[in-house]
Structure 1
Amino acid sequence: MSVTPSDNEDTYFQQRERELRDQLREQLDKAAGDLRDERETEKLSLSDRIAALGFTGDKLKVFDLLPLVHVAWADGTVSRKERTAILDVLRGRGIQPGTEAFRTVESLLEERPSQTFLDQSLVVLKEAVGGARAANIVELCVQVAGASGGFLNMGTVSDDERALIEQIANQLGGPALAEFKKQLG
C-alpha cells in the first residue's frame, strides 16, 4: 500500500491537533495549581481568576460549561455519548470545531483534568454565575449524565454522577439546587 501526500497531511494535522490539545491541558492544570494559594488569589478580581485558570479570549465562552466536563468524568471515563452531548452544547452556542474554545473542551474530555483544576474551576464559577444561568448549568449536567444510560439512553444517572451534580448545585447556590431537586430530587 502506497502512502499518498494526502495521507501524510492527514497524519501531520491529526498529530498537530493532539499536540495543541496536550499543550492546552498542561496550561490549564498549571494555572489551577497556581491558584491554590488562597492568600494570593484573594487579591485577584473575578475576571483575573478566570483568566488565571486559562480562560481568556475564545476559551472564555466555555468556562461556564466546565461542570459538564466534571460530570462526564464522574465515573472515571467519558463515554462517546457524553462527549457528543457536550460538543453538541458547544455547537448550539455557535462554538465550532477548530476554535480554541472547542479544542479546549475536547482536550478536557480526552484526558481527565487534575482534581485541582476541577476544584478551582468550581470555586471561581460559583462567583461568576447565578440565578437562571446556574440552574441551566445543572440542567445541562443532568443531560450529560443521562446521555449514556437508561432506556433509549435517557434518564439513568449513576450514583456518582448524581452526587457530583448535587455537589455542583450546592456550590452554585439556590436556583441551581432547585433545578437539581426538580431534575433528580
Structure 2
Amino acid sequence: MSNDALRKREKALEEEFFARQSQQLRDTLKATFDREATRDELKAATGLSDPQILDRLVALQVRGETMAAFWLYPLVEVAWADGKLDRDERDAILAAAVAAGIEAGSAGYQMLEATIADGPTEARRDVWFAYARDLAARLDPKERRAVREDLVRRARVVAETSGGVLGMRKISGKEQRVLDRIAEAFAD
C-alpha cells in the first residue's frame, strides 16, 4: 500500500474516531439537558424544590405530563396489597385516573397502565412518600385533610372492588395497612 493510501486511511479512521467521540459528547449533553428540562418541568408541575426528590422522579421517568398519574400511585399499592391484581382493581384505578382528568391514551394514562401491570416497587413507593411528605409540609391543615380524604377515598374504592365475602370485610388487613399509610402521609 502506498504512503498516500495509508495517509488517506489514517485520515479516514481519525475522522471516524472523532465523529464517534463527538456523537457521544452530543448524546451526553442531550441527556443532561433533557434531565434538567424534565427536572424543571417537574418542579413547575409539583412545586417541589428538593433536588433529590426531583432526581428520583426523573429516574422513575415521571414527567410533568405524567405527574397526575404518579399522584395516583398509592392506588396501585392498595390493589397489589394482597400480592395479586385482579381486573376489577385495575379497572377501578383507571376509572379513578379518568375521573382525575387523565385522558385514556395520554402519556400519564399509559404510565399508570404500565405501573399497574408492573406492580409496586420500593423505588416508586419511596419517591411517592417523599413527595407526599414534601407536599404535606406545604399545605395548611385544612388542605392536608382535603388531600388526605380525597386520596384515601379513591384508594378505598380500589380496595373494596374485589374484597369480601357476602359483602363482609371488603377491605383486607393488608389493604387497610396501605390505606393507613396513605393517610399518615398527610396527617396533621
- Contact 2:53/2:127, CA 8 A, preserved across alignment: no
**Aligned mate of 1:54, from 53, 57, 61:** 61
**For 1:7-39, what per-residue CA distance to the aligned partner results, in whole angstroms no more than 9, with x for missing partners?**
xxxxxxxxxxxxxxxxxxxxxxxxxxxxxxxxx
Partners of 1:53 and 1:111 in 2: CA distance:
13
Tell me: CA distance 1:154–1:105, structure 2 relative to 1, closer, same or farther (3 Å). farther
Q: Which amino acid aligns with 1:135?
A: E
- Contact 1:53/1:121, CA 8 A, preserved across alignment: no
Q: How do 1:85-164 and structure 2 match up within 5 A?
A: 85-129=92-136, 130-150=144-164, 156-164=170-178
- Contact 2:79/2:158, CA 8 A, preserved across alignment: yes
Tell me how far 1:94 sits from its aligned partner: 2.8
Match of 1:72 in 2: 79
Tell me how far 1:73 sits from its aligned partner: 1.1
Segments of 5+ residues of structure 2 without an aligned counterpart are: 1-48, 137-143
Tell me: CA distance 1:100–1:153, structure 2 relative to 1, closer, same or farther (3 Å). farther
Match of 1:38 in 2: none
Partners of 1:52 and 1:125 in 2: CA distance:
17
Tell me: CA distance 1:143–1:125, structure 2 relative to 1, closer, same or farther (3 Å). same
- Contact 1:46/1:128, CA 8 A, preserved across alignment: no
Tell me how far 1:141 sits from its aligned partner: 1.0
TM-score (norm 2): 0.61
Tell me: CA distance 1:154–1:92, structure 2 relative to 1, closer, same or farther (3 Å). farther
Residue range with higher mean Cα deviation, 49-58 or 66-75: 49-58
Tell me how far 1:131 sits from its aligned partner: 3.0
- Contact 1:150/1:156, CA 8 A, preserved across alignment: yes
Segments of 5+ residues of structure 1 without an aligned counterpart are: 1-41, 175-185
Tell me how far 1:120 sits from its aligned partner: 2.3
Residue range with higher mean Cα deviation, 120-129 or 45-54: 45-54
- Contact 1:49/1:124, CA 8 A, preserved across alignment: no
Q: Which amino acid aligns with 1:134?
A: R
Tell me how far 1:93 sits from its aligned partner: 2.4
Larger radius of gyration: 2
Partners of 1:116 and 1:95 in 2: CA distance:
23
Partners of 2:128 and 2:109 in 1: CA distance:
17
Partners of 1:87 and 1:153 in 2: CA distance:
23
Query: How many residue pairs end up in the alignment?
Result: 133
- DSSP 3-state at the match of 1:75: coil
Q: Does 1:171 align with 2:185?
A: yes
